[in-house]
Structure 1
Amino acid sequence: MDIITVFEQFINKFLGYSLEILPYFFIATVIGAFIQSYVSFNFVRKFINKDYSPAVTALFGSSVPVCSCSMIPIAQTINSLSKSYAPAVAFLISAPILSPVVFFLMIGMFGWKLTIFRFVFGFLTAVITAYIVNILFKKPPALPMISSKGQSSNRWQIFKTAFKEIFIGTGRYVLIGLLIASAVAVLIPSSVVVRFSEFPFSYIFIAVFSIPIYVCSGEEIPIAKSFFDLGFSQGQALTFMFASAGICIPTISATFKIFPKKLAVFYVLIWFFGSTAGGILFDLIFKYII
């Protein structure tokens, strides 16, 4: 296959993926900007020390379009306001894998079934893990509290700024994902992916393989789509998306700065096994049961 043919195939794949995903990305950008304009962090702050606070911060995490690195300052703020580690853990799990951007990109590339499963499984994992953390890891009292300023009353200006930040800031990572996905689809033989996907411990290896990969704000979705097109099952694609978004090396490093060492290790292990279990469970339910 000559270089010109490969380049033509790459362009065709890139245009195909782009046309498939861009309408959903635009809708998600509008929704994300609206949430940033009209939902104040002070609202979340009111519920930070309630028994149900992990559910609140998990929902908050699923509403803000942040990547696995940009979520760290928000998680630090939540952790400083809370009497336990649970709310910050719930936010850290939900934020990189559940957002308006992710929701619409998932629908555009994988359809409703995998999208709903990703959100339900991701939210439940965030909340259940947070309550387990609340039992196993007690936070020392009297940590400093961080004040939170109110939002400006100029909601339209906030909306325009947020829209620009999401569309450009997040969009560039989605663009990188589309470029990588197109290259993977053209350069990697489908027979190689199929053989790998049939390996008995493929889900575990996919999770391990995903750790060094840094993806941001939906960037993993088009890459996973290219693997799916080459032979991955949807569950294996889900394992890749969970692991690459949640336990990339920059995030792992940051958690050791926020949490005690044992809790940080527990957090990483939950991501690893949760990513693997999520993919296996989806394939078992929809391939063998339903």
Structure 2
Amino acid sequence: MKREFIYLWYYFSIQFEQIFFYWVLGMVFGSAISVFLKDQIHSTFSSLCEKRLGVFGIVIASVLGIASPLCMYGTIPIAASFSAKGIRDDWLAAFMMSSVLLNPQLLIYSIALGKAALMVRILTCFFCGIAAGLLVRIFYKGKSFFDFKEFHEPKSRDTDTNIIFRFFKNFGRNIRATGLYFLIGILLSALFQRYVPAGAVASLFGKNKGFGILMAATIGVPLYVCGGGTIPLLQAWLEDGMSMGSAASFMITGPATKITNLGALKSALGIKRFALYLGFVIIFALISGITVNLLIHH
């Protein structure tokens, strides 16, 4: 028993040392954007309703969604306020989709996965937002896609008059929100490294490319609770032979189907459009995974 504890502590401590810096940096960066830039990002998006940007507005909306520091739970009420100001549904779809998949804090965390995985995450999230916006534009032209009647713009929690105190309070909330999941993620990674042979990961998520992508997309649904918590797992899996396409698939389905937030999304979409959303997420994840593997291996 003592020997097993020593082995687990060894894997845990190595993983902790590799990722701790990126976790802290991500919280600092995320809190800084939330306190100093969030209002500017959202006001920039609100101002788009005054411009005739057409399809290009979807591209801008996807970029601003990634830049927004909000998670899905915070994005939906903000999107409701944007809708009330006249922002089009296709732009909203692009903004919400990319915002759900990636934010500045998670982007910094993802540096720990290496340059290739970081670029794959940024590009797949960006294009997923664009794809969502284009589909809403094509199939819901002249019709409403969202129903925001139940949602109101949330009150900001960053209200301290001293901007430095405001930053540190936001930073403290980030630690409380992600710290436990970060440690659980490292513990799960240590357990995988100790008890799951590297060859098993490679054979499941690596060699059988199509099956591995499908499996990664599937396990992303129940396993994903917090973005920072999955980084240690992904890092260990990639080192053990997981294909980049499988990682891309996991990084899409995980945050897009985060169980704690799906209820709010279902309220904003209704049953039919919610089912379309889930179908879109799975299909896009599979296409992205296959495409990434084809591009990397050719």
TM-score by length of 2: 0.82
Return closer, same or farther for 1:158/1:282 CA change in 2, 3 Å cut-off. Answer: same
Q: Is contact 2:49-2:88 (8 Å) kept?
A: no
Matching of residues 8-47 of structure 1 within 5 Å: 8-39=6-37, 40=39, 41-47=42-48
Task: Determine the structure 2 residue equivalent to 1:101.
Answer: 105
Task: Determine the structure 1 residue equivalent to 2:125.
Answer: 122
Return closer, same or farther for 1:5/1:88 CA change in 2, 3 Å cut-off. Answer: farther
The structure with more helix, counted as a fraction of residues: 2
Matching of residues 78-89 of structure 1 within 5 Å: 78-89=82-93
**Matched letter for residue 173 of structure 2:** E
Task: Determine the structure 2 residue equivalent to 1:238.
Answer: 248
Mapped pair 1:131 → 2:129? no
Return closer, same or farther for 1:90/1:121 CA change in 2, 3 Å cut-off. Answer: same
Task: Determine the structure 2 residue equivalent to 1:7.
Answer: 5
Deviation at 1:69, TM superposition (A): 4.0
Deviation at 1:133, TM superposition (A): 0.7
Deviations 1:39-60 (A, max 9, x none): 2144432235754554444333
Deviation at 1:80, TM superposition (A): 4.4
Q: Is contact 1:55-1:127 (8 Å) kept?
A: yes
SS of aligned partner of 1:96: helix
* Cα distance in structure 2, aligned partners of 1:142 and 1:258: 5
Mapped pair 1:172 → 2:172? no
RMSD: 2.9
Deviations 1:90-133 (A, max 9, x none): 2332123322222222222x211221121022112202321221
Return closer, same or farther for 1:284/1:184 CA change in 2, 3 Å cut-off. Answer: same
Q: Could you tell me the percent identity over the aligned residues?
A: 22
Q: Is contact 1:34-1:159 (8 Å) kept?
A: yes
Gaps of 5+ in 2: none
Deviation at 1:141, TM superposition (A): 10
Task: Determine the structure 2 residue equivalent to 1:159.
Answer: 167
Q: Is contact 1:68-1:216 (8 Å) kept?
A: no
* Cα distance in structure 2, aligned partners of 1:240 and 1:248: 12
Deviations 1:201-252 (A, max 9, x none): 2211221222122321332221122222333122212222221121233444
* Cα distance in structure 2, aligned partners of 1:18 and 1:91: 33
Return closer, same or farther for 1:133/1:195 CA change in 2, 3 Å cut-off. Answer: same
**Matched letter for residue 24 of structure 1:** Y
Task: Determine the structure 2 residue equivalent to 1:190.
Answer: 198
Task: Determine the structure 1 residue equivalent to 2:277.
Answer: 267
* Cα distance in structure 2, aligned partners of 1:171 and 1:194: 29
**Matched letter for residue 84 of structure 1:** R
Deviation at 1:269, TM superposition (A): 1.7
Return closer, same or farther for 1:183/1:124 CA change in 2, 3 Å cut-off. Answer: same
* Cα distance in structure 2, aligned partners of 1:238 and 1:142: 30
Deviation at 1:174, TM superposition (A): 2.1
* Cα distance in structure 2, aligned partners of 1:161 and 1:169: 12
**Matched letter for residue 125 of structure 1:** C
Gaps of 5+ in 1: none
Return closer, same or farther for 1:32/1:13 CA change in 2, 3 Å cut-off. Answer: same
* Cα distance in structure 1, aligned partners of 2:100 and 2:233: 16
* Cα distance in structure 1, aligned partners of 2:155 and 2:295: 46
TM-score by length of 1: 0.84
* Cα distance in structure 2, aligned partners of 1:192 and 1:141: 43
* Cα distance in structure 1, aligned partners of 2:34 and 2:190: 32
Deviation at 1:258, TM superposition (A): 0.6
Deviations 1:28-76 (A, max 9, x none): 2222111111221444322357545544443333224444445444344
